[in-house]
Structure 1
Amino acid sequence: MIFKINVRGRDKIGDFWWGILCLLYLQIMIGMLPFKVFAEMALPEMDLLEMDIAEPQIPNSIIPPLSHAQLASEPVLPENLYNDEVQCVAINNVELINLDAFPNAAHLKEKAEEAHGRCLGEQGLSVLVANLQQQLVVDGYITSRVVFVGDSERDGTLMLKLMPGKIEDIRHHQDSVGNAHLSALFPGKRGDLVNLRHLEQGLENLQRLTSVNATLDVELNREDLSSQIIVNRQQSRLWRINAYLDDAGHDAVGRYRTGLILSFDNPLSRYNPLSLSDLLYFSVNRDLDSQPDKGHNSYGVHYSVPYGNWLFSMTGNQGERYQSFSFAGKRLAGKKFGYRSHWSVLDTQIQHLLTRGVNYKTVGYAGVLIRQSASFWTHREIDIQRFNTTDWQLGIEHLHYMPWATFRGGVRYQQGASWFGAQPIPGKMSTAPARLVDITSSLDIPFKIGTQSFQYRPAFSQQHTYSDISSLDKFTIGGRSSVRGFNENNALTGSRGWSLKNDISWISPIPGQTFVGQQFYIGMDYGEVSEQGQPFLLGERLAGAVVGTRGNYHAFGYDFNVGVPITKPAEFDADPLVFGFTLTWQY
């Protein structure tokens, strides 16, 4: 006899014990509030390397959306669960046959021990088996079974047999488009236990590309509990184009920016009949100010490929920024002097799934970050602004769906190294490797007032270090990526700092499919920074507010906003109103 278990990705998540994550989030937030901060004055005209030429978000998130299969609900058990029954058998021990074949043996053993010392009748024995079966399902072993064996009770010992449900084959449905390399994408293989967590991970690997949609069926043979995993994969196209235009640049090198990203989903499928679910993209970015004496441009390439519970990624970028200066005086009147900076970055990372459950996922990663930069004044290199650094990184990311919110958080540790020709940073007082820790967390909380839908999103970020770090790693506040209400021309930077962004969005109730996901939002941000020794003090904190609208119109995305400063240092130059926009297009 064969029956099907349908497993589909991107469904909603069930209930979770939300209190622990809420307390963790509040502990992080409250623990940072007494942080005494001051600021180092930023020098944007010369420290051009600090100006981040940001690119639009690529559809290759660090933690892809969790796939979720609807599990059986926990059985409703009677209150007299293990109360002694009139006709019963005294149970001193429960022996589980084949227990060693299950990775969740500790959970099963704990459930079995609940019956020790009880006198169980027909109802109690049924409840015990139901509890063990439910534990198998909760831990992901959806096709394994718990059964009684002949002559189950001997001298107070109850013997139950765990019947493992194993994978017989993982194959494509006849209607699948393209042959994905299923053995590489799914953690499980033939002969392994059927584990729903492994199926979710494989489905997630298939759907990490936005052009791919996939479902799978588990066909179970009741006679031997073997399963056929049948995947139906559909891919709409092999390439995509994304473009953007915004005004988030620095006036010194071009306020208006544009970029184009060409992405290839499964780029090797032309030469290999088995797709790897890999992603390759190329990016080009530049300013639109069209002035010969200032500007910036950059180029990038990215490649990433999953393998079971692993994900390998590599991203490289290089570019330049340039501007001209003129000076007063008879000898220098009418002359312009050029300042130019070249930079390159190579970021490699290996990510591994640490744990995942019905509604959560945790990954760890390790990586190497290589950065180089050289600056020139009228074609002569400025030695003190030469950078050639290598850092290794370790981090952990967590995603958790709760009934009332979605939590995302992460911790990253970074330390300098002398690998790949790295050189000491000129001007540093210490030769010890620079060390820093970054903490990020956010909540997405939907709520309703009457019939209107809203969303509240707090996002927290902190950097902590006691090292003498370079300007490349300074924490910056001021601008749309940190504390809004200020433009990118002026910012406060420091070795340590934290910021909190708060958004409340109203989801527009306008019906129709012309404007999709239209929102009107207000936000209020706050941030602080500090520096050892407090050199070049300009201030210690910034606060700002913003109001705007965002959404999509067919293939176009938009975000229009206006911000105002609320709190700033007395000598900090800030516009009374800051207008901003971002336009995106995808094909």
Structure 2
Amino acid sequence: MCAQTANDLQQRSQEQERRAQEALQQRQKTIPAPDVRLQKDGVEPEVRWLATESPCFPIQELALSIETLPQWSWLLSHADGHATLANPDPVEGRCIGAQGVQIVIDRLQNALIARGFVTSRILAAPQNLQTGRLTLQVLPGRIQEVRWAQGSGQRGSLWNTVPMSAGDVLNLRDIEQALENFKRVPTSEADIDIQPAQEPGFSDVVIRHAQTLPFRLSASMDDSGTRSTGKLQGNATLSYDNWWTLSDLFYITVQSELGAKEPGPRGTDGRTVHYSVPWGYNLLSVTLSQNSYHQNVAGANADVLYSGSSANSEVKLSRIIQRDAAGKTTVSLKGFQRRSNNYIDDQEVEVQRRVVGGLEWGLGHRRAIDRAMFEANLTYRAGTGAWGALPAPEEGFGEGTSRMRLWMLDANVQWPFEAAQQSWTWHSAWKAQHNKTPLTPQDRFSIGGRFTVRGFDGLSVLTAERGWLWRNELSLAAAQGTQVYAGIDHGHVAGASAQNLVGQNLTGLVLGWRGPYKRMQFELFAGRPLRKPERFKTATETAGFSLSVSY
């Protein structure tokens, strides 16, 4: 029975990893992450150098009028034209005339537009340039009113969704953020116009917003489980969009095994509830989930029923601290609690009871580079002993702790391109983990399976305290919006427990086909190991599928 319990612990860790990956994918499908980047009006800035003029005035100092400081002091660094010229072309120490003054004004105006201040202007008031000082003034373009367009706004709120108000300096970054807040609701449509106001130097921000039926229903099925608790897994999700007219999202997901399992009582089920709401550049989300499993195991004298349950709770607050025309940076703080209990014939195995509470700090960046999109997230997880946390059973042996300390990094790039008159996409993803304390199985890094290193059946994995994996995929656009793809993945694990493994590296190959069909999304794939430890048990070939439908 003890041997079975040890094997059962490893299986539960793998099941929890599978559940976590499925929950992440479900969240990404249910909660879109819109990326709004508004193009500025006009053509690219003209490349112009300061030239010799007559008459001209020697300029020793460039300054902004006192009314415009300190908010606009950053503009002075753009007077040399370094943003568009091969080499800086400073105005200080030069003799310039009317044309030179206009070139400097244009450079600062282009810098304003690049920062999103599309209605602000640079002016040169009458002045005596014989003093050697050129003083420029910023005329901020302000907002007179933020309002709904006629017939709009019945299912929307301005106070939390739009991060600007009357009197603010108009900036495209604020408008982009407002559109992202509106468009995070899949059943909503939104557009924003900038219209001249009655008062000079002011504009009205006019918002058109409409929402269809706020309910969405989706269901999915795949074969990511195991025969011990059910190879076929399914879930159904009901979403209520814009519940409180705050661009908020709510959904509930029910999960269950659908068959293809060994004989006897066995199975899995789970439930997830999520709610999130934006507030300007902030986003607050709450996620609660419960999962359970049971399986019948033949014992020496009688069958034994192994079962377990887990519950995860998290509250996360994130904020966009920087955004420009091509990217944005986000910081986040998450509080979490994880509970798990295991039973043998309905009697709890108390030494396996776990309660972990802690915090996660995150830093993320997303950037468009030409046609490519790059995204990276750095996370630090720390168990704090809060929220009823218990010491981990492994703490007595120095093999784990409920007060874990670990770093995690995720990075990926997606690059669409044209070659041989075909549309291709290269996608590369890198994931790594580094521990600062011993880790329990639930926090360790695992490789081998469809969610990590593809080409392996996932029945056996390599797990240790730290590691990394690299997934590479090349896809080709096929008929009716589908894609065929090929990928090579590699992963490595390390740490104190890695010395007990049969090896530390896995490399796998995958071929697949995915895409839409009517209301459905499908994926079919097959793969095989390319490199593995000699005693690592896995199928020589593996295949799988996933199918989802949405209404």
TM score, norm. by length of structure 2: 0.91
1:400 aligns with 2:363: no
Any gaps of 5 or more consecutive residues in structure 2?
81-88
Aligned to 2:394, the other structure's residue is in SS state coil
Paired position in structure 1 for 2:378 = 411
| Contact kept in structure 2, 1:177 and 1:235, CA below 8 Å | no
Aligned to 1:548, the other structure's residue is in SS state strand
The alpha-carbon deviation at position 91 of structure 1 amounts to 1.8
**Partners of 1:106 and 1:563 in 2: how far apart?**
54
Q: For the aligned residues, what is the CA RMSD?
A: 2.1
Paired position in structure 2 for 1:46 = 9
**Partners of 2:30 and 2:94 in 1: how far apart?**
54
C-alpha change, 1:43 and 1:445, in structure 2 (3 Å) is farther
**Partners of 2:363 and 2:33 in 1: how far apart?**
11
C-alpha change, 1:367 and 1:62, in structure 2 (3 Å) is farther
C-alpha change, 1:154 and 1:230, in structure 2 (3 Å) is farther
C-alpha change, 1:432 and 1:50, in structure 2 (3 Å) is closer
* Residue-by-residue CA offset, 1:127-182 (whole Å, 9 max, x unaligned): 01111111111111111111121335362222222111111111111142534211
C-alpha change, 1:154 and 1:183, in structure 2 (3 Å) is farther
Residue number among 269, 277, 286 corresponding to 1:305 in the alignment: 277
Paired position in structure 2 for 1:569 = 533
**Partners of 1:460 and 1:579 in 2: how far apart?**
23
Larger relative contact order, structure 1 or 2 (CA cutoff 8 Å, min sep 6): 1
Paired position in structure 2 for 1:322 = 294
Paired position in structure 2 for 1:29 = none
AA paired with 1:339?
Y
AA paired with 2:147?
R
Seq. identity, %: 29
Residue number among 537, 540, 557 corresponding to 2:501 in the alignment: 537
1:578 aligns with 2:542: yes
**Partners of 2:142 and 2:412 in 1: how far apart?**
39
| Contact kept in structure 1, 2:456 and 2:527, CA below 8 Å | yes
Paired position in structure 1 for 2:86 = none
1:295-444 equivalent positions in 2, closer than 5 A: 295-328=267-300, 332=301, 335-428=302-395, 429-430=397-398, 433-444=403-414
**Partners of 1:187 and 1:108 in 2: how far apart?**
27
AA paired with 1:128?
V
**Partners of 1:161 and 1:542 in 2: how far apart?**
62
Aligned to 1:370, the other structure's residue is in SS state strand
* Residue-by-residue CA offset, 1:278-323 (whole Å, 9 max, x unaligned): 0000000000117652110000100000000100001000021111
AA paired with 1:199?
I
**Partners of 1:50 and 1:284 in 2: how far apart?**
20
Paired position in structure 2 for 1:455 = 425
1:175-186 equivalent positions in 2, closer than 5 A: 175-176=151-152, 178-186=154-162
Aligned to 1:45, the other structure's residue is in SS state helix
More helix by share: 2
Any gaps of 5 or more consecutive residues in structure 1?
1-41, 269-274
1:198 aligns with 2:174: yes
1:489 aligns with 2:459: yes
Of 335-344 and 396-405, deviating more is 396-405
**Partners of 1:244 and 1:139 in 2: how far apart?**
43
**Partners of 1:433 and 1:194 in 2: how far apart?**
46
| Contact kept in structure 1, 2:426 and 2:473, CA below 8 Å | yes
Of 149-158 and 349-358, deviating more is 149-158
1:89 aligns with 2:65: no
**Partners of 1:563 and 1:420 in 2: how far apart?**
43
Count, aligned residues: 527
Aligned to 2:308, the other structure's residue is in SS state strand
* Residue-by-residue CA offset, 1:19-54 (whole Å, 9 max, x unaligned): xxxxxxxxxxxxxxxxxxxxxxx9653331441322
Residue number among 108, 117, 120 corresponding to 1:141 in the alignment: 117
TM score, norm. by length of structure 1: 0.86
**Partners of 1:501 and 1:99 in 2: how far apart?**
54
